[in-house]
Chains A and B, each alone.
Chain A
Amino acid sequence: MDKLQLIALVQAYTGVGIGLMIGLGALGACVGVGIMCSRFLEAAARQPELTDSLQGKVFLLLGLIDASFIIGVGLALWFATGNPLLARLG
């Protein structure tokens, strides 16, 4: 195959990979955050006096749950802009 075809091949697969990375990461993160926040709302309804102290923990856990997803987005955007697999081709 000539150079242009190889480049197109790498870019195509990288594109699919980026989509999967961001999409599946978002899926996991959103489901996780949804479960956590539903528990928080339940707890706040049962014991309204705990709302303030639980709210701080909710934000902390939000950041922790989002971590893998954001790392995935960072990596995916790295592949989208400065693709090392493409750089190998020259």
Chain B
Amino acid sequence: MAAGNEPSPTEYIGHHLTHGTVHFGEGGSWGLNFDSLAVSFLLGLVGIGFIWWVVRGATSGVPNRRQAFIELLVGFIDDQAKGIFRHGDRNKFVAPAALTVFVWVLLMNAMDFLPVDIVGLGTHNISEHGFRIVPTADINTTFALALTVWFLMIFFSIYAKGFGGWLHELFFTPFGKWMVPFNFLFNLIEYVSKPLSHSLRLYGNMYAGELIFLLLWLLASAGLAWTGVSFVLGLGWAIFHILIVALQAYIFMMLTVVYLAMAHEHHG
């Protein structure tokens, strides 16, 4: 935003929805959103690093509050994984992956609590044109997470059933071996819809949440009475969004565990 003359509402929203991008070529898909990359990387370090640091100094005697908090968290994730993943040792991969995904997505979503204009005072020094601090409101981040889960799903399918078993399941189930094209189409739809819905759910919630925040804050520009309206509505939406942030992280984690568990199942 230029100092001095006020931006129009569209400009304000447009500015706050622009990513800090580095372009490697012509066109949109050659842009790297370094803001999402940097913030997600930092949050991963902070979140997982904190857990690692507490576990490093853990004692089997009476735990201090930090250790008790991490124990609560790990116990919570373990309960969820225990109920869904029954195809082997969940502590080898599935439960730690669920913990990582939950903590990371929760921290990334929680960046939405910071008011964008106050953060903007700092990030204007990094990038004039735009810097978005919520990595999960960037479709690249959520697709990266969902596609990673998708690759893991395929990997574990092959690991549990063998490559031949996986192909057999892909082409001969669920309709039987004389309906190969229908089986393949059915399974293809399942394989395509899972990462799509997984990523777009998280992206849609965070992006729409941010946009509604911006629109509600813009209401305040219409006058003093409208500032009061904007405050009340903004407060309500902020409180609701606290629930959404935690809920979407929980759902992302649960679906990760469910997809990985389904990958281990034999369908005939």
Indicate, yes or no, whether A interacts with B: yes
Q: In whole angstroms, what is the CA distance A53 to B197 when docked?
A: 25
Which residue of A59, A64, A66, A67 is within 8 Å of B200 (Cβ)?
Answer: A67
**Which residues on the B side are within 8 Å of A62 (C-beta)?**
247
Given contacts A63-B250, A64-B201, 17 further A-B contacts (CB under 8 A): A59-B247, A60-B250, A60-B251, A62-B247, A63-B201, A63-B247, A67-B204, A70-B208, A71-B204, A73-B208, A74-B207, A74-B211, A77-B208, A81-B10, A81-B13, A82-B14, A82-B17
Q: In whole angstroms, what is the CA distance A57 to B62 when docked?
A: 33
Q: In whole angstroms, what is the CA distance A9 to B49 when docked?
A: 54
Question: Would A81 and B204 be within 8 Å (CB), given that A59-B247, A64-B251 are in contact?
Answer: no
Question: Would A74 and B204 be within 8 Å (CB), given that A59-B247, A63-B251, A64-B251 are in contact?
Answer: yes
Docked complex: A46-90 residues within 8 A CB-CB of B: 59-60, 62-64, 66-67, 70-74, 77, 81-82
Question: Would A71 and B201 be within 8 Å (CB), given that A62-B247, A81-B14 are in contact?
Answer: yes
**With an 8 A cutoff between CB atoms, is B173 at the interface?**
no
Q: How many residues of A contact B (CB 8 A)?
A: 15
Q: In whole angstroms, what is the CA distance A64 to B201 when docked?
A: 8
**Which residues on the B side are within 8 Å of A74 (C-beta)?**
203-204, 207-208, 211
Q: In whole angstroms, what is the CA distance A63 to B245 when docked?
A: 11
Q: In whole angstroms, what is the CA distance A74 to B14 when docked?
A: 15
The smallest beta-carbon distance between A14 and chain B, in angstroms, is 14
Q: Are A73 and B204 closer than 8 Å at their CB atoms?
A: yes
Per-position binary interface string of chain B over residues 210-233, scored 1 when its CB falls under 8 Å from any chain A CB and 0 otherwise? 011000000000000000000000
**Which residues on the A side are within 8 Å of B254 (C-beta)?**
60
The smallest beta-carbon distance between A33 and chain B, in angstroms, is 13
Which residue of A64, A72, A81 is within 8 Å of B211 (Cβ)?
Answer: A81
Q: In whole angstroms, what is the CA distance A81 to B13 when docked?
A: 8
**With an 8 A cutoff between CB atoms, is B205 at the interface?**
yes
Closest residue on chain A to residue B211 by CB atoms:
A77
